[in-house]
């Protein structure tokens, strides 16, 4: 019996819906593992509109974006602001073209950086200043991060990258002077206020899925734009390759921060349908990872000292094996190591071996 399809896998629908006062949900099509659409939200005001997460780069997305806007009586020229929740291409891919068409400002966290994981180039340097900005000053961690930023990982595998065909398309865009990587004209931090949809939205910095992830909270109507931080039926990917020493713990902190926000009536995710119990969903996502941590410990007891790849092949179903699964397995193993529930050492090639028995 096949598993029921998750909300986030549903194909994009053309219909637009008003999900909160002056906030329209517009679904844009994407073809990514486990995802069938991205929700672009249009926030209407007297100047036109702002949009949040305008989909992937490319002509198909642009046609869909214009179609959805047209149904609301809008055109790209009416967009004065693009808000990007985080540095993944299905969220910022349309931003650069919108800015060219309408001179819109592009808003993202001031740590926005496309390249630490998914660069269209092979190498991305990470500086001491980058680490210090995230409160990470440990020399061993600095060496580890600078290693994987140049293509190697601490466990010997490849770092996660988009599919090769997607990378080729992105390089072609870059070669003809049409890079889709946006220039952020309005960087923001936690606590900043944005005037959108005729009211104030507060920026919440929520590192975990990415270092630069932000959510937006409107206390007036109890609306919360959750991006990929909190999704209704799947858990976002948590990479081990971040500037944080314990990325899973940082994600837990971000979930707790969001769950503690009072009077949230409606969460608007980047994939899937709007939902109302934000705090409950945060707790469920944490519980999922607690169960995964217990599973990792049991795998270690079964296997003995093992590579990240060996753990990954027991933790994930075969259809999910690959760089992203390895990276998330590494994040769980590192969390256990920081909690002194796992030991680690390097093998003769310098790659990490973990033991949880």
Whole-Å CA distances, 116 to 62, 85, 113, 124, 154: 26, 16, 7, 6, 15
**pLDDT recorded at residue 188:** 98
**pLDDT recorded at residue 20:** 98
pLDDT at 167 over 60: no
pLDDT at 117 over 50: no
pLDDT in tens, 186-213: 999 999 999 999 999 999 999 999 999 9
pLDDT in tens, 237-294: 998 988 789 999 999 999 999 999 999 999 999 999 999 999 999 999 999 999 999 9
Q: Under a CB-based contact definition with an 8 Å cutoff, are residues 212 and 243 in contact?
A: no
- Global pTM value: 0.88
Please compute the mean of the pLDDT values over residues 54-70 and round it to a whole number. 96
Q: Which residue has the higher pLDDT, 106 or 129?
A: 106
Q: Order the strands of the 343-346 sheet from edge to edge.
A: 306-307, 352-355, 343-346
pLDDT in tens, 64-112: 999 999 999 999 999 999 999 999 999 999 999 999 999 999 999 999 9
Q: In the chain, where does DSSP find H-type helix? A: 59-71, 89-92, 95-102, 128-133, 139-148, 164-175, 247-259, 278-303, 308-315, 323-338
What percent of the chain is modeled with pLDDT above 90? 75
| Residue 152 CB contacts under 8 Å (≥ 6 apart), including other chains | 159
The closest alpha carbon to 251, from 262, 273, 236, 261, belongs to 236
The closest alpha carbon to 321, from 333, 309, 303, belongs to 309
Q: What is the distance between the alpha carbons of residues 281 and 293, in angstroms, rounded to a whole number?
A: 19
**pLDDT recorded at residue 168:** 59
Domains and CATH numbers, the chain: 7-355 (3.60.15.10)
**pLDDT recorded at residue 100:** 95
Q: Which residue has the higher pLDDT, 113 or 5?
A: 113
Mean pLDDT of the chain: 88
Write out the two tokens for 332. Answer: 């769980």
The closest alpha carbon to 171, from 54, 76, 84, 89, belongs to 89
């Amino acid at each position: 019996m096949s598993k029921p399809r998750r909300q986030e896998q549903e194909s994009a629908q053309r219909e637009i819906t008003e999900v909160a006062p002056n906030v329209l949900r517009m679904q844009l099509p994407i073809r990514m593992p486990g995802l069938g659409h991205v929700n672009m939200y249009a926030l209407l005001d007297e100047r036109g509109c702002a949009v949040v997460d305008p989909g992937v780069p490319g002509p198909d997305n642009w046609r869909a974006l214009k179609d959805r806007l047209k149904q609301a009586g809008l055109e790209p020229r009416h967009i004065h602001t693009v808000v990007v929740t985080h540095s993944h291409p299905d969220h910022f891919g349309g931003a650069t073209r919108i800015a060219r068409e309408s001179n819109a400002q592009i808003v993202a966290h001031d740590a926005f950086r496309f390249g630490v994981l998914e660069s269209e180039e092979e190498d991305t340097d990470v500086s001491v200043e980058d680490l210090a900005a995230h409160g990470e000053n440990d020399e061993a961690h600095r060496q580890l991060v600078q290693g994987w930023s140049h293509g190697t990982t601490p466990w010997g595998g490849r770092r996660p990258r988009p599919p090769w065909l997607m990378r080729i398309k992105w390089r072609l865009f870059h070669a003809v002077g049409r890079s889709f990587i946006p220039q952020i004209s309005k960087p923001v931090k936690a606590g900043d206020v944005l005037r959108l949809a005729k009211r104030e939205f507060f920026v919440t910095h929520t590192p975990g899925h990415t270092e630069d992830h932000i959510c937006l909270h409107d206390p007036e109507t109890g609306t919360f734009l959750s991006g990929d931080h909190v999704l209704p039926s799947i858990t976002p990917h948590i990479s081990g390759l971040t500037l944080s020493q314990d990325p899973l713990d940082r994600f837990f902190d971000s979930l707790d921060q969001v769950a503690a926000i009072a009077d949230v009536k409606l969460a608007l995710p980047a994939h899937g349908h709007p939902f109302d119990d934000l705090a409950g969903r945060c707790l469920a996502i944490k519980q999922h990872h607690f169960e995964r941590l217990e599973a990792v410990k049991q795998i270690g007891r079964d296997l003995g000292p093992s590579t990240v790849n060996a753990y990954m092949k027991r933790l994930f179903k075969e259809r999910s094996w690959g760089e992203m699964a390895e990276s998330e397995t590494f994040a769980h193993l590192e969390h256990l190591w920081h909690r002194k529930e796992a030991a680690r050492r390097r093998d003769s090639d310098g790659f990490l071996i973990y033991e949880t028995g």
